Amino acid sequence: MNLKYNSEGLIPAIIQDATTKNVLMLGYMNDAAFKKTQETKKVTFYSRSKQRLWTKGEESGNFLNFVDVKVDCDHDTLLIQANPEGPTCHKGSDTCWGDENTSNFGFISKLEATIEARRTNSNPEDSYVASLFSKGINKLAQKVGEEAVEVVIEAKDDNDELFLNESADLLFHYLMLLQAKGFKLEDIETVLKNREKK
């Protein structure tokens, strides 16, 4: 691997959670730290303050277990994917930016937040979401069943637009049903991850 180290013999290493894809921290590696990371499968940096190799977690036990590495187009920055054991930041937070290292499903996570806000803050007369929640779990479950049947019907036809629209309706109402039961998509992800291990 042809890496371009800076004048101090270091290369920045962005650490990303291999599963959630959240950025956890930024550190620096020299050639020895990079090789040790690959050999031990524990992310190791060159500590500029300690002037030595430093394996993340060597004192705290909060190791970063190496999964993969990518090099940027200029070969002067590393993207290290790792599985963290505990918080990454020395101040105790999941990331060095103070963020929680939770799954983020992009627009779907934003949609979950919108559903929650409308469920808790909107008048049922002004919001479809609030009105459906006000009718109770049975109505929500019934709606998910209706949307599932419509997806099956459209799957048998050749109209892709209708199939995708019905699929979107099903997902939207399923997210509401999950919240009515006190769950989010992240909880389903956890179940699926546990099944993968078996």
pTM: 0.74
Mean pLDDT of 16-45: 96
Tens digits of residue pLDDT in 73-132: 999 999 999 999 999 999 999 999 999 998 889 999 999 999 999 999 989 899 999 999
Domains of the chain: 10-84 (3.10.20.810), 107-197 (1.10.287.1080)
Give the pLDDT score at 127: 94
User: Does the pLDDT of residue 66 top 90, yes or no?
Assistant: yes
Q: Which residues contact 187 (CB under 8 A, 6 or more apart)?
A: 178
Identify whether the C-beta of residue 5 lies closer than 8 Å to the C-beta of residue 31: yes
User: Does the pLDDT of residue 147 top 90, yes or no?
Assistant: yes
| Res. 193 pLDDT band, cuts 50 70 90 | confident
Cα–Cα distance for residue pair 81/37, rounded to 1 Å? 11
Residues in the chain: 198
Give per-residue burial for 122-159: e unless 16+ CB within 10 Å, then b: beeeebebbebbeeeeeebeebbeebbebbeebeeeee
Give the pLDDT score at 197: 74
Beta bridge partners of 134: none
Cα–Cα distance for residue pair 84/151, rounded to 1 Å? 39
User: Quick one: which of 57, 182, 195, 191 has its CA closest to 119?
Assistant: 182
Give the pLDDT score at 73: 96
The DSSP code sequence of 41-53 is SB-EEEETTTTEE
Q: Which residues contact 1 (CB under 8 A, 6 or more apart)?
A: 71
Question: What integer best gives the mean pLDDT of the chain?
Answer: 95
Q: Is 121 exposed, middle or buried (0-12, 13-18, 19+ CB in 10 A)?
A: exposed
Tens digits of residue pLDDT in 26-36: 999 999 999 99
